[in-house]
Amino acid sequence: MIENTKEIASLIRLLDDPDAEIFEHVHDKLKSYGSEVIEYLEGAFGQAFDPILQDRIANLVHEIQFNSLKTELQLWQQGGAFDLLQGALIINKYQYPDLDEQKIINQIESIKRDIWLQMIYDGSPAEHVKLINHVLYSIHGFSGNTANHQDPQNSYLSQVLETKKGNQISLAIIYSVIAQKLDVPIYGVNLPQHFILAYTDDSLVNEFEGGILFYINAFNKGFIFGRRDVDMFLKQLNLKPEKQFYEPCSNSEIIKRVLRNLISSYEHLGSTDKVKELTQLLEIMG
């Protein structure tokens, strides 16, 4: 909790000082307060009429928020990256720092409940997938954003839940998070150029099949397909059929893929600052 609010107010007033040395000192001092100083900076921004001061306040707020985001991502990664939804929410806060995380969690829970109410737990894997597909795509209206596939908004869960349109990986994250909450073993597979899902069954594990019953395309309304289709897809890309293209990947790999998608989207838009920052986030992931 910041005790000396008068000092904060004085420092903020000095942010537009023309002397570069004074500005640097003030900037660094305010930055050292971390997230706690943001509300004071935002209040000052609303009262500022000088564009230079507004610009400096906005940049400082972004710097503080970005530092906080880097720390959060680092802690998530070092802590074992167990919660995929949490990882996706951290990335979401890059573009939407004031994100209401609980709202997203509630939206996911609400979809899960809609499926759970109709679920027959001794049903077959295909029946489980059919039900998830029905609720996600027919009732809630999710679909792949084919018209504007490069849009970075496709990678932010808050926007995907709002518009009901996303890319391969954001739809797969929503799909697998909900499935796992229902104890349905569906996990992401890092297939090149197309992120897919696998329905796993530990009782089937052998060297070749890796315990996978079938694959699911979350981008195409939960379409079910088999290993042979993955073989053909890799053949089209002139890629060797490596084990990693067929089996579930870690949550860290999924978040890395989200970051790579965002970097590609912002490169396409020419947003070099965002590309630089997202590359820093990707480096944190190792």
pLDDT value, residue 103: 97
Contact (Cβ atoms closer than 8 angstroms) between residue 285 and residue 77: yes
Residue 166: strand pairing partners:
144
Domains and CATH numbers, the chain: 5-78 (1.25.10), 84-284 (no CATH)
Q: pLDDT tens digits for the chain (286 residues)?
A: 566 788 888 888 888 888 888 888 888 889 988 888 888 888 878 887 778 888 888 989 999 999 999 999 999 999 999 999 999 999 999 999 999 999 999 999 999 999 999 998 888 999 999 999 999 999 999 999 999 989 999 999 999 999 999 999 999 999 999 999 999 999 999 999 999 999 998 766 554 456 899 999 999 999 999 999 999 999 999 999 998 999 999 999 999 999 999 999 999 999 999 999 999 999 999 8
d(CA 123, CA 134): 15
Which run of H or E residues covers position 95?
A: helix 84-95
- What is the identity of the amino acid at 216? I
Reading the block at residue 53, the tokens are 């001061």
Backbone phi, then psi, for 214, in 5-degree steps? Answer: -165, 175
pLDDT value, residue 141: 97
Backbone phi, then psi, for 131, in 5-degree steps? Answer: -70, -45
Pairing of strands 165-166, 186-189: unpaired
pLDDT value, residue 208: 45
Residue 229: which of 274, 194, 280, 187 has the closest Cα?
Answer: 194
Residue 221: count of CB within 10 angstroms of its CB:
16
pLDDT value, residue 205: 55
Secondary structure (3-state) at 216: strand
d(CA 169, CA 177): 12
Site of tokens 């490596």: 242
What is the CA angle 106-138-180, rounded to 5?
45
Residue 248: strand pairing partners:
189
Residue 103: count of CB within 10 angstroms of its CB:
11
d(CA 197, CA 71): 29
d(CA 211, CA 198): 10
pTM of the model: 0.91
